[in-house]
Structure 1
Amino acid sequence: MVGRIRTADVALVRERTSIDDVIAEHVTLTNAGGGNLKGLCPFHDERSPSFNVTPSRGFWHCFGCGAGGDVITFLTQLEHLSFAEAVERLAARAGITLHYETTDGRSSRPSMPTGQRQRLVAANAEAAAFYSEQLSTPQAQPAREFLAQRGFDRDAAVTYGCGFAPDNWDSLSKHMRQKGFTVDELTTAGLVKTARSGSVIDRFRGRLIWPIRDIGGDVIGFGARRLLEDDNGPKYLNTPETPLYKKSHVLYGIDSAKREIAKTREVVIVEGYTDVMACHLAGVPTAVATCGTSFGTDHITVLRRLLMDTDEFAGKIVFTFDGDEAGQRAALKAFSDEQRFASQTYIAVSPGGMDPCELRMASGDGAVRELIAGRERLVEFALRSTLATHDLDSVEGRVAALRATAPLVAKIKDRATRPRYANWLAGRLGEDVETVRQWVHTAAKGEAPPQPPPSRAVPVDSPQRKREREALKLALQYPELAGPYFDEVDETYFLDPIHVSVRLAIREAGGAATAPDGPNWIAAVTAACTDLVAAAVVAELAVEPLRRATPPDGHYVSVVLAGVRRPATESRMLELKSKVQRINPQTDFAEYMRLYQEVIALEGQVRGLREQEARGM
Structure 2
Amino acid sequence: MAGRIRDEDIALVRERTSIADIISESVTLKSAGGGNLKGLCPFHDEKTPSFTVAPGRNVYFCHGCGAGGDAIKYLMDAEHLTFVESVERLADRAGIQLRYLEAGPAPVRQQHGQKQRLVAAHAAAVEFYTGQLGSAGARPAREFLAQRGFDKAAAERYGCGFAPDAWDLLTKHLRQQGFTAQELITAGLSREARSGSLIDRFRRRLLWPIRDLTGDVIGFGARKLFDDDDGPKYLNTPETPIYKKSHVLYGIDHAKREIAKQGRAVIVEGYTDVMACHLAGVPTAVATCGTAFGADHIGVLRRLLMDTDAVAGEIIFTFDGDAAGQKAALRAFEEDQRFVGRTFIAVSPDNMDPCELRLAKGDMAVRDLVARREPLVDFALRQVLDRFDLDTVDGRVEAMRRAAPLVAKIKDREKRPEYVRKLAGDLGMEIEPVQRAVLAAAAAPPKAGAAPDTRARPAPVEGEVDNPQLTVERESLKLALQVPVLAGPMFDALGAEVYRHPLHVAIRAAVTEVGGAAAAGTGGAVWIEAIRDACADLGAKALVGELAVEPLRIDGEPDPRYVSVTLARLEWGAVTARIRDLKSKVQRINPVANKDEYFALFGELLSLEQHARALREQAAGGL
Q: Which residue of 2 aligns with 1:68?
A: 55
Q: Which residue of 2 aligns with 1:309?
A: 307
User: In 2, Cα distance between the equivalents of 1:14 and 1:300?
Assistant: 37
User: In 2, Cα distance between the equivalents of 1:245 and 1:202?
Assistant: 18
Max radius of gyration: which structure?
1
1:91-134: CA deviation from partner (whole Å, max 9, x where unpaired): 4252499xxxxxxxxxxxxxxx9521111111000001110010
**Aligned residues of 1:93 and 1:118 also touching (Cα < 8 A):** no
Summarize the Cα distance change of 1:157–1:424 in structure 2 as closer, same or farther, 3 Å threshold: same
Secondary structure (helix, strand or coil) at the match of 2:81 reads helix
Alignment of 1:117-132 (within 5 A): 117-132=115-130
User: In 2, Cα distance between the equivalents of 1:162 and 1:96?
Assistant: 26
Question: Equivalent of 1:94, from 87, 100, 113?
Answer: 87
Q: Which residue of 2 aligns with 1:440?
A: 438
User: In 2, Cα distance between the equivalents of 1:269 and 1:125?
Assistant: 26
Q: Which residue of 1 aligns with 2:448?
A: none
Secondary structure (helix, strand or coil) at the match of 1:353 reads coil
Q: Which residue of 1 aligns with 2:427?
A: 429
Does 2:18 correspond to 1:18? Answer: no
How far residue 15 of structure 1 moved from its aligned partner, in angstroms, is: 4.0
How far residue 149 of structure 1 moved from its aligned partner, in angstroms, is: 0.7
How far residue 348 of structure 1 moved from its aligned partner, in angstroms, is: 0.5
TM-score by length of 2: 0.58
How far residue 311 of structure 1 moved from its aligned partner, in angstroms, is: 1.6
Residue identity in the other structure for 2:55: G
Q: Which residue of 1 aligns with 2:486?
A: none
Secondary structure (helix, strand or coil) at the match of 1:341 reads coil
Q: Which residue of 1 aligns with 2:77?
A: 84
Q: Which residue of 2 aligns with 1:230?
A: 228
How far residue 362 of structure 1 moved from its aligned partner, in angstroms, is: 0.7
Does 2:156 correspond to 1:158? Answer: yes
User: In 1, Cα distance between the equivalents of 2:332 and 2:443?
Assistant: 22
Residue identity in the other structure for 1:147: L
**Aligned residues of 2:54 and 2:60 also touching (Cα < 8 A):** no
User: In 1, Cα distance between the equivalents of 2:58 and 2:328?
Assistant: 40
Alignment of 1:394-405 (within 5 A): 394-405=392-403
User: In 1, Cα distance between the equivalents of 2:286 and 2:205?
Assistant: 22
Residue identity in the other structure for 2:411: K
**Aligned residues of 1:13 and 1:94 also touching (Cα < 8 A):** no
Summarize the Cα distance change of 1:115–1:77 in structure 2 as closer, same or farther, 3 Å threshold: closer
How far residue 140 of structure 1 moved from its aligned partner, in angstroms, is: 0.3
How far residue 429 of structure 1 moved from its aligned partner, in angstroms, is: 1.1
Percentage of identical aligned residues: 61
Secondary structure (helix, strand or coil) at the match of 1:269 reads strand
Q: Which residue of 1 aligns with 2:605?
A: none
Structure 2 alignment gaps of length 5 or more: 23-27, 37-52, 62-67, 91-110, 446-623
Does 2:365 correspond to 1:370? Answer: no
Secondary structure (helix, strand or coil) at the match of 1:369 reads helix
1:353-409: CA deviation from partner (whole Å, max 9, x where unpaired): 111111111111101111111100000000001111111122221112111111111
Summarize the Cα distance change of 1:445–1:390 in structure 2 as closer, same or farther, 3 Å threshold: same
Q: Which residue of 1 aligns with 2:166?
A: 168
**Aligned residues of 2:163 and 2:206 also touching (Cα < 8 A):** yes
Question: Equivalent of 1:292, from 290, 293, 296?
Answer: 290
Alignment of 1:345-424 (within 5 A): 345-424=343-422
Residue identity in the other structure for 1:153: D
Alignment of 1:213-292 (within 5 A): 213-292=211-290
User: In 2, Cα distance between the equivalents of 1:358 and 1:14?
Assistant: 53
**Aligned residues of 2:14 and 2:70 also touching (Cα < 8 A):** no
How far residue 16 of structure 1 moved from its aligned partner, in angstroms, is: 4.4
Summarize the Cα distance change of 1:385–1:216 in structure 2 as closer, same or farther, 3 Å threshold: same
Q: Which residue of 1 aligns with 2:207?
A: 209
User: In 1, Cα distance between the equivalents of 2:70 and 2:423?
Assistant: 43
Q: Which residue of 2 aligns with 1:142?
A: 140
User: In 2, Cα distance between the equivalents of 1:430 and 1:381?
Assistant: 18
Return structure 1 stretches of 4+ with deviation > 6 angstroms: 11-14, 24-27, 74-78
CA RMSD of aligned residues (A): 3.3
Summarize the Cα distance change of 1:148–1:89 in structure 2 as closer, same or farther, 3 Å threshold: farther
User: In 1, Cα distance between the equivalents of 2:211 and 2:170?
Assistant: 19
**Aligned residues of 1:195 and 1:201 also touching (Cα < 8 A):** yes
**Aligned residues of 2:277 and 2:366 also touching (Cα < 8 A):** yes
User: In 2, Cα distance between the equivalents of 1:397 and 1:43?
Assistant: 50
User: In 1, Cα distance between the equivalents of 2:397 and 2:29?
Assistant: 55
Q: Which residue of 1 aligns with 2:519?
A: none
Secondary structure (helix, strand or coil) at the match of 1:18 reads helix
Q: Which residue of 1 aligns with 2:175?
A: 177
1:173-230: CA deviation from partner (whole Å, max 9, x where unpaired): 0111111111111111000000111111100000000000000000000000000111
Secondary structure (helix, strand or coil) at the match of 2:387 reads coil
Summarize the Cα distance change of 1:83–1:399 in structure 2 as closer, same or farther, 3 Å threshold: farther
Of structures 1 and 2, the one with the larger relative CO (CA 8 A, separation 6+) is: 2
**Aligned residues of 2:75 and 2:86 also touching (Cα < 8 A):** no
User: In 1, Cα distance between the equivalents of 2:165 and 2:307?
Assistant: 45
Summarize the Cα distance change of 1:362–1:444 in structure 2 as closer, same or farther, 3 Å threshold: same
TM-score by length of 1: 0.59
Q: Which residue of 2 aligns with 1:331?
A: 329
1:522-578: CA deviation from partner (whole Å, max 9, x where unpaired): xxxxxxxxxxxxxxxxxxxxxxxxxxxxxxxxxxxxxxxxxxxxxxxxxxxxxxxxx
Residue identity in the other structure for 2:194: R
How far residue 85 of structure 1 moved from its aligned partner, in angstroms, is: 2.1
1:8-42: CA deviation from partner (whole Å, max 9, x where unpaired): x9x98994452565459989xxxxxxxxxxxxxx9
Secondary structure (helix, strand or coil) at the match of 1:205 reads coil
**Aligned residues of 1:16 and 1:94 also touching (Cα < 8 A):** no
**Aligned residues of 2:384 and 2:403 also touching (Cα < 8 A):** yes
